[in-house]
Structure 1
Amino acid sequence: MKNFKFNFLAFIGLLSMFISCTDDLNVSPEDDDVFTADNFYSQPGAYKQALAGVYGNLSLTGTGGAESSFLEGVDAGTSQYGRCLWYLQDLTTDQVIWSYENDPGTRELQRNIWSAENPILLGMFSRTMVEVALVNEFLRQSTSEKLSARGITDASQLADISLYRSEARVLRALAYYNLMDLFGKAPFITENDPINFQGPEYNRQQLFDYVESEINAVFPSLKAPRANEYGRLDQGVANMILAKLYLNAEVFIGQNRYADCVTKCNEVIAGGYTLNPNYLNNFKKDNDGSSELIFTLQADAVTTQNYGPTTVFCNGQVGSLEENGSSFGVGGWGGAIRLRKQFSLLFDGPAFNNDARNTIISANRNIEITNIADRNQGYVFGKYSNISSTGVVGSNSTFVDTDFPLFRLADVYLMYAECAVRGASNATMSQALTYVNMLRERANNSSTVANIVMGDLDLDFLIDERARELYMESHRRQDLIRFGKFTGGSYNWAWKGNGSNGIALSNNLRVFPLPTASLASNPNLTQNTGY
């Protein structure tokens, strides 16, 4: 059940009363902070509500509904964490096209012509730095000294708060992982720094080392995989972040850490997660019950309305010709999202005719998108749904109840396979083949008709299989960079580099520029090369 999310608004509401975001969105308490905070933390369950506020920043944008934002000068539509992550990781690649290029920032991202002025880049950088700020403030308010001064001595309550602090530190590590991946650098600020501190610039090596050490430091104090309440992280999530860190270590820091990735993949796999027998049930209204999902960004049509990724996907995938919103339990946005040709071709051929992952709708459509404004061009898809696995339609035709699967087990299987192909000493090709074929059998209703043989399992196969399995889950940009296919001209896709057939990208585009506003707020920050 989605219980934890119902506390999100409490702490966010408190924050709107006694903090302001300045100096690169660090948390700055007002003069009455001690009074306000002490009153809040004297309430029963206050520390859990505060922790829920930290989690809530990953789903909500403000306290006044889906269109509100507590980030001064940053719009809700360009600063929702999951939506911005999707914009940067998938919209910039060979997967999809956003039809409405008047929407701020989208044209530049999907044509790979972004600049430091892009509002979505500002939204992602700001939202992620706010996550750091929220964690820092929570840690400041939950020290032993603060707890003692507030008369909190109950051993059980102290143990709970200690766990909350560990979870918050992992959330902060996740934020810095995102900043390292997307921007290659970030201002570094912890709870030990003074308010209004302008953090020094940390590069990728420093951020990599911090994320690794911070997660390892708190790991023993986290709950075992799948032992925490839904919506909160555990050791499985911590291992997943480390696995991603190690998988991309050659890109991030120039080091081969594939063996370490395998170790973490094995630990995740041993944590009790299992593939959902029905692939599409991972993306439906009741996906909170799927044993495959490791960590999700929560959505709820009543208590946490937001224009996050699953609301965007369910509505955006409704075709302009098909008008098939009822198939997904939504009204739809008239063909907002369409597939680029190169992605559609990944499902071409009889081997994918019965593949559950192949949700492409091609009838009466041209695979080419020569005019982005023409919503009838290009194929569409139907991966996400606001209808449950038992056919129950969501209560709201715009805002959905479907959680976004930030991490799931299928990705772990593919990561293991990739590390094996790349020569990790502690991975075997036979196990890699088994994991890949488990996904293919699941996609084909337990049939082995689409299984591959050992000779098929190479890097070219895996980059395509990752696209087929994980599309619209915010992995593609990172994958293409790791496989050497994002920049340069060895692999082009429609509208890459603002050419209708695709043109080469310069290597500086492997990281995004730091937003101009963020640079202005902190003189310690420097712009990335090439911007």
Structure 2
Amino acid sequence: MKLEILIKPFISSVLLVLCLASCTNLEIEETDSIISEDAGDGGFSGIADPTSSLNDLYNKVGSDFQTQENMYALEEVTTDELLIPTRGTDWGDNGVWRQLHTHTWTSSHLFVKNAWNNLNQNVFRASEIIESNPDAQVLAEAKFLRAFNMFFVMDLFGSVPFRQVDEGPDVNPTVLSRTEAYNFIMTDLQEAMTGLPEGSPGVANTGKATKTAANFLLAKLYLNAHIYNGSGTADSADMQKVIDAVDAIAAQGFAIQEGYFQIFEPTDDSETIFFTTSEVAARIYNSLHYNQNSPDNTGGGWNGFSTLAEFYDTFEGAPNSNYVGDDQEERRGWVPDATTANAQNLGIGRGFLIGQQYDSDGTPLKNRQGAPLSFTKEIPAIVGNGEETGMRLLKYHPFDPTDAENQNNSFRKHQILFRYADAHLMKAEAMMRMDQDPTAMVNQLRQSRVDTPDLPSVTEAELLAERGRELYIEFWRRNDLVRFGQFTAPWSLKEVDGDPNMNLFPIPETALLSNPNLVQNPGY
């Protein structure tokens, strides 16, 4: 699959103007932020319609998180959860996917540059709204979105450039250290709390910023504080703040949802805290084979994203298949066989797709050469693979457009970013880092997942594994691996030297050229 076909970047009219500017005019390149048209010409005069701009910003954030490149690639493809093996000439793409898996990226990697640009642009746009004297709720939501985007800049890159809205292209953005950015984000979230609605479970209440979403992001901040401040040791006071934030979320009625894969449908549930109205097609079709059709997409999948055998083996169930009745835990999902495939599940399973795949009428599918379409557990190499190499992962599912519940196409615009089970496990981890036993908390979650037995005890390694089992491909695996000291550890088809510098991505080359206040991260 050609990369240029798959990338669908959001390009605003402002960025288009910037891109047409001379390539030698690095001072106004879109690396650190966009620049207001009136910046530097008498000061910033404000946005005419802050509410409309806020809605545009929500859409921009959703667009940034909906693709398989950029944010998703940096957060998931760099981990032990995903691998995009090159199959013949498909998914070669000049090595951009292989570099992420093997941790051999450089400061010129396209996805690194795009993620940096998108996040920093969003921070600036939020600042423009904030400085336009909006009403209290618009102000609070803009501060939440600024904190949200700056959180990911800080988490991925360490230092954070910040441009004031009245600064023109002749002013180099200030650069916040990781500690300064942490404090800035904390202040934005705490100030946003006063103007945000409470937030309660349900699709109507969780597509925008709420106090509950702010508490979730605060919990993430406190849980990772010892990583961001460089101490390396969790502070008990921070861990207590994690617990308090999670308890505040639970007090609003959020709880673990029974029926795991129902959470990823566009219906009300008790877990979703914050979702974006962005398409989830990339979460579906980048993994499915070309011949795996569904009523809404008769063209089949893109046959790319796979998972590693060792990650699959962390789940309960038969080691070499995942058919219905293989004694698998609920979260590992299932593959329909010839007798269970039907129109309701479209012949496509959920979770881990391994072994022979079937059409909706129970007919065994074939690959494009006519051989059985049977996904292999092992991936022998990053290159030189066949069409069926590697297990596939599927949380969001294709839908039947003839189903009345899907007539509004809402399934494609409901991607979850914050979820209560994550908060629940954050609380368990905070307890563990305060030398309390998290076993009961973890087993409370597992008891809500069918055929998932209790754990006799929960060690640090087991808690990391549990977060993987619950939250796979939900944007948090890299963050977890860094916090548990495992991001530079070995896994299949990844040569590792244990370089801790890889815990941060490099500052893109273009950003360094355009802003001399930036300093490249160590090791790059």
How far apart, in 1, do the equivalents of 2:11 and 2:392 lie?
Answer: 37
TM-score scaled to structure 2, two decimals? Answer: 0.77
How far apart, in 2, do the equivalents of 1:241 and 1:194 lie?
Answer: 31
Change in CA separation of 1:258 and 1:32 when aligned onto 2, cut-off 3 Å: closer
Selected match of 2:506 from 510, 513, 523 = 513
Q: CA deviation at 1:24?
A: 3.0
5 Å-filtered alignment, 1:179-258, equals: 179-191=153-165, 197-226=171-200, 229-253=205-229, 254=231, 256=235, 257-258=238-239
Matched, 1:105 2:86: no
Partner-residue secondary structure (3-state), 2:330: coil
- CA-atom RMSD in angstroms: 3.4
| 8 Å contact kept, 1:80–1:124 | no
Q: CA deviation at 1:19?
A: 8.6
Q: CA deviation at 1:249?
A: 1.2
Match of 1:75 in 2: none
Q: CA deviation at 1:221?
A: 2.1
Q: What letter is aligned with 1:116? A: S
Match of 2:140 in 1: 166
How far apart, in 2, do the equivalents of 1:512 and 1:89 lie?
Answer: 11
Partner-residue secondary structure (3-state), 2:394: coil
Q: CA deviation at 1:180?
A: 0.9
Unpaired runs of 5+ residues, structure 2, are 1-9, 20-27, 86-90, 320-325, 333-350, 356-373
Q: What letter is aligned with 2:424? A: Y
CA deviation string 1:280-312 (max 9, x = no partner) = 11223x24x333111112225xxxxxxxxx221
Partner-residue secondary structure (3-state), 2:194: helix
Q: CA deviation at 1:60?
A: 2.9
Matched, 1:175 2:149: yes
| 8 Å contact kept, 2:40–2:167 | no
How far apart, in 2, do the equivalents of 1:315 and 1:132 lie?
Answer: 30
How far apart, in 2, do the equivalents of 1:26 and 1:163 lie?
Answer: 24
Match of 1:362 in 2: 354
Q: What letter is aligned with 1:467? A: G
Change in CA separation of 1:229 and 1:465 when aligned onto 2, cut-off 3 Å: closer
Q: CA deviation at 1:27?
A: 3.1
Q: CA deviation at 1:203?
A: 1.5
How far apart, in 2, do the equivalents of 1:39 and 1:263 lie?
Answer: 37
Change in CA separation of 1:195 and 1:163 when aligned onto 2, cut-off 3 Å: farther
Matched, 1:294 2:306: no
Identity of paired residues, percent? Answer: 25
Match of 1:311 in 2: 281
Selected match of 1:56 from 56, 59, 66 = 59
Matched, 1:380 2:401: no
| 8 Å contact kept, 1:496–1:504 | no
Selected match of 2:106 from 115, 125, 132 = 115
Q: CA deviation at 1:313?
A: 1.5
Partner-residue secondary structure (3-state), 1:326: coil
Selected match of 1:26 from 4, 18, 33 = 33
How far apart, in 1, do the equivalents of 2:32 and 2:353 lie?
Answer: 43
| 8 Å contact kept, 1:360–1:379 | yes
How far apart, in 2, do the equivalents of 1:252 and 1:32 lie?
Answer: 32
| 8 Å contact kept, 1:135–1:168 | yes
Partner-residue secondary structure (3-state), 1:290: coil
| 8 Å contact kept, 2:316–2:328 | no
Q: CA deviation at 1:403?
A: 1.9
Partner-residue secondary structure (3-state), 1:519: helix
Unpaired runs of 5+ residues, structure 1, are 1-10, 62-78, 144-157, 301-309, 498-502
| 8 Å contact kept, 2:139–2:195 | no
Paired residue total: 449
Change in CA separation of 1:348 and 1:451 when aligned onto 2, cut-off 3 Å: closer
Match of 2:116 in 1: 125
| 8 Å contact kept, 2:317–2:329 | no
| 8 Å contact kept, 1:50–1:138 | yes
How far apart, in 2, do the equivalents of 1:16 and 1:414 lie?
Answer: 40
